[in-house]
A and B are shown apart, each in its own frame.
Chain A
Amino acid sequence: MAKSFIAGRRGITGYLEVPERDLLRKLFADVITMLEPDTPAHEDPLAALLGLDMDVSVPSDPALLRLLPDAVKDDAGAALEFRQLTERSLRESKIGALRAASLDLDKDKLVLDPEAAKMWSMALNDVRLVLAERLDIRDETDADRVHRVQDWGDADDVESYLSLVYNFVSWLQESLVQAVLARMKSGR
């Protein structure tokens, strides 16, 4: 079994079993695949450098829309313009966090400095957003329904399996964030 993250003198440490690492590696890879842009970077080098993407549109996959939401409410034009200016770099920064977390999984023991812990918390959160969309979590009642699935012996269909995975990733993220907050509080 995985152990909770602990804030210690050398950083935030955690321990994961091999199957848990494999699961997380797969989840991170799935989200990276979702986030990789369909179109190559803009041919205009300046546009590419600035991360502009004039061909961007609102994601049709609701899970991807959760990762890349509109930044302006009730104004589709302004929201799209914002996407053109920012979405490509947002995708890249999310992919960067997911890749960094995935690389950390290659080491036996997880030892995270504040920056790595931030990457990990972002990566785990993005995985949870995607799983939550697949599990149709819209409100607290839905969240409770998913949270009640706790026994791996009940993993007999896709929904209960995804619920168990969601609960595991949620537990891991909560443990990481508690360790990070404890570290911030102690001023280290």
Chain B
Amino acid sequence: MSLSTAPEIDRAQVTRELASTDIPWELIVWNDPVNLMSYVSYVFQSYFGYSETKASQLMMQVHQDGKSSVAHGNKEKMEAHAVAMHGFGLWATVQKGGKRG
């Protein structure tokens, strides 16, 4: 006797669905001449939990290259990060692409 009355799930289907919601998006933080370098580094450390070294590398990239891709993941997560960055007063945008992470 089977304990489960649930219909058999097509495993291939499940895999496809997970993959489609997991298309990597990225969060870009843009440079501006107002935000202090120390503050940007503080935001990266305190909000994302990045190490001092990683936060400082990303901050320098924003400062020197004009922008940096600071986080990757699904769309909803990147959108939540963008709102948080705007809360801190950093200009961030979300876009499709970037590396998986």
Contacts and interface: CB of A to CB of B under 8 A. Distances in A.
Contacts of A70: 93
Size bin of chain B's contact surface: 20 to 34
Given A72-B94, A72-B95, A132-B34, A122 B87 contact: yes
Interface string A48-60: 0000000000000
A128 B34 contact: yes
A30 to B, nearest CB: 16
A121 B38 CA distance: 11
A181 B83 contact: no
A71 B38 contact: no
B36 A122 contact: no
Given A69-B91, A72-B94, A126-B89, A177 B36 contact: yes
A90 B87 contact: yes
Interface string A75-104: 000000010001001100110010000000
A149 interface: no
Size bin of chain A's contact surface: 35 or more
B33 interface: yes
Interface in B2-46: 28, 33-36, 38-39, 41-42, 45-46
Given A68-B86, A71-B79, A118-B46, A140 B95 contact: no
B90 to A, nearest CB: 8
Given A70-B93, A82-B79, A125-B35, A94 B42 contact: no
B93 A129 contact: no
B70 interface: no
A142 B39 CA distance: 20
B95 A177 contact: no
27 contacts: A66-B91, A71-B83, A71-B93, A72-B95, A86-B83, A90-B83, A93-B87, A118-B46, A121-B42, A125-B39, A126-B89, A128-B89, A132-B33, A132-B34, A137-B33, A137-B34, A140-B33, A142-B33, A143-B33, A143-B34, A173-B39, A180-B42, A180-B46, A181-B42, A181-B45, A184-B46, A185-B52
Interface of B: 28, 33-36, 38-39, 41-42, 45-46, 52, 79, 82-83, 86-89, 91-95
Interface of A: 66-73, 82, 86, 89-90, 93-94, 97, 118, 121-122, 125-126, 128-129, 132, 137-140, 142-143, 170, 173-174, 177-178, 180-181, 184-185
